[in-house]
Amino acid sequence: MKDSDKEFLDKKRPKQLYDVHLKDYELIIKHYQEIIDKDENFSDAYVNLGFIYLDTEDYDKAIKCFQKIVELEPENPEAYNNLGYVHEKMDMFDSAKKCYEKALKLNKNDIEAIINIGHILELQGDYHSALSQYQKAIKIDPKSLSARFCLAVLYDHHDMYDEALNEYTEIIQINPSHTKTLYNLGRIYFQFGNYADALKNFQHVLELDPENADAWNNLGSVYETTNKLTKALSAYNKSLAINPFHEETNVNLSNIQYLLYLSDPESIKIDDILRRLHFVLSLNPHNKKVQKLLDKIQKPSLPQPKNTKLNSAIDTLKENLGGALLATDIWGSADVQSVAAWNPQPAARTLFGKIINMTNQALKDSGFAILSKYYLFDLVDAKIMIVIPMGDFMWGMLIDGKKVQLELLLNIALPKAIAAFEDAITSN
């Protein structure tokens, strides 16, 4: 999940104009220069020209424009706010702060200047002073969305999630369609395992902003975590259709594709996954998630048990359990790669593989004996998950407890499965 972004809702700051070409900018700049040539004191022309230079990241020329406005309108707080913003974009935080303080001196209740000072203090690592500024802005205007959003993000970035949630909730009460707040709420809900509310928030964001690649990516993450892989794939692909260079989405899509490949090597070409991963590395050579997945794909596999005996063991289990068996998968303990399966569930395999590996590691670290023989998970809706460890491999099976007697399962079907599994592993 991506970190939340700071947003200044009340500030007249330029948006990136992706459909404006360089020649168009040149024509617009020429137009405003002609206006200034006719009237060198026409402040609106300098304002618009300054924002164009900001949009094209020509900060030196932007500063000249906004400095001219300060000369023309020395009592205008907005002029100092705009000049400060250019300094801020150039990482000249002390100069930016002086401009914002000048704006505040001209108008002690200038919400924008107060928020801007708070943002500079936050960038400089002064949490308490930034907090004080945002609270001061809210005291002046309790319905200021920008002040509340900045305060919420400050809490958010310092892992003060209860406080952040309270502020985000206040914003939604003022404006139920505040997309960045809905997005950040979804991210926090996801982080704490509240997938239903995370799903609702990301869906709401996409209703308001269908071209939000980050929201499509996070929606895909919710679907992936809740084992809805088809919907996850669709969401990731929609994210990449909007922004093909979205790094996190490319990694997430590669992970799902690899899981599908392990379950059914015919479903996707491994070379397509590798190409996507190397594309991400071309964007960010230090992406650790990509390196980890590449290592997993490219490292030598463990000696595999003979598939015929594994398939025979699975067939025996199916005969013993009949319609009670919902899915089953045999995988390597270390890499959680499937070696045999029936109705495989890649996300579930990965989840339970990680749970068992982490549990065993925690037991070892605490000086306890690790888990042995088999592990039984009693799930909701009378579902039962059983995992049998055997050397370098594990065999997981999802069972409908309503369709099998527990005594039959534990005393007949399970011992037969363990014996068949052991025979398949040891005879390799």
> Which of 228, 230, 280 lies closest to 254, judged by CA?
280
Of residues 188 and 356, more confidently modeled: 188
Query: Is the distance from CB of 133 to CB of 141 less than 8 angstroms?
Result: no
| In a domain? residue 378 | yes
Q: What integer is the mean pLDDT of 131-149?
A: 95
Average pLDDT over residues 128-156: 95
* pLDDT of amino acid 125: 93
**For the chain, what is the largest distance between any 2 Cα atoms, rounded to a whole number of angstroms?**
96
Predicted pLDDT of residue 296: 83
Q: Which amino acid is at 125?
A: G
Domain count, the chain: 2
| CATH number of the domain within which 368 lies | 3.30.450.30
Question: Is 401 domain-assigned?
Answer: yes
Residue 271 counted as domain residue: no
Write the single-letter amino acid at 203: Q
In a domain, residue 283? The reply is no
Question: Which of 149, 170, 191 is at the close of a domain?
Answer: 170
Is position 188 within any domain?
no
Query: In this model, does residue 92 exceed pLDDT 90?
Result: yes
Whether 149 is covered by a domain: the verdict is yes
pLDDT of residue 202: 97
Question: For residue 131, is it within any domain?
Answer: yes
The predicted pLDDT at position 4 comes to 42
187 lies in some domain: no
CA distance 132 to 147: 11
Asked whether 155 and 164 are in contact (CB, 8 A), the reply is yes
Region 352-379: what's the mean pLDDT? 82
What is the CB-side half-sphere exposure of residue 139 using CA atoms within 13 A? 9
pLDDT at residue number 201: 97
Closest to 133 in 3D by CA, of 158, 113, 149, 153:
113
For residue 327, what are the β-bridge partners? Answer: 398
Average pLDDT estimate for 410-419? 88
* Pick from 263, 337, 268: nearest CA to 304: 337
pLDDT in tens, 308-360: 788 888 888 898 888 999 999 998 887 777 888 888 888 788 888 888 878 87
Residue in 159, 177, 183, 181 with CA at minimum distance from that of residue 168: 181
Most confidently modeled of 49-58, 166-175, 290-299?
166-175
Residue at which a domain ends, from 170, 186, 202: 170
Distances (CA, A) of 323 to 201, 221, 268, 327, 329: 38, 31, 30, 10, 16
pLDDT of residue 198: 96
**Least confident among 8-12, 32-36, 139-143, 280-284:** 8-12
Least confident range from 24-33, 296-305, 384-393, 412-421: namely 296-305
State the pLDDT confidence band at 305, using cuts at 50, 70 and 90. Answer: low
Domain termination site, one of 126, 145, 170: 170
Q: What is the mean pLDDT of the chain?
A: 87
Closest CA to 115 of 126, 101, 94, 125: 101
* Cβ-count burial 289-302 (b if 16+ within 10 Å, e if not): bbeebbeebeeeee
Q: Which domain holds residue 339?
A: 307-426
Q: Which CATH number characterizes residue 54's domain?
A: 1.25.40.10
Contacts of 408 (CB under 8 A, 6+ apart): none
> Given this model, what pLDDT does residue 308 score?
76
Alpha-carbon gap, residue 303 to 326, rounded angstroms: 28
pTM given for the model? 0.66
- pLDDT on residue 18: 35
pLDDT at 46 over 60: yes
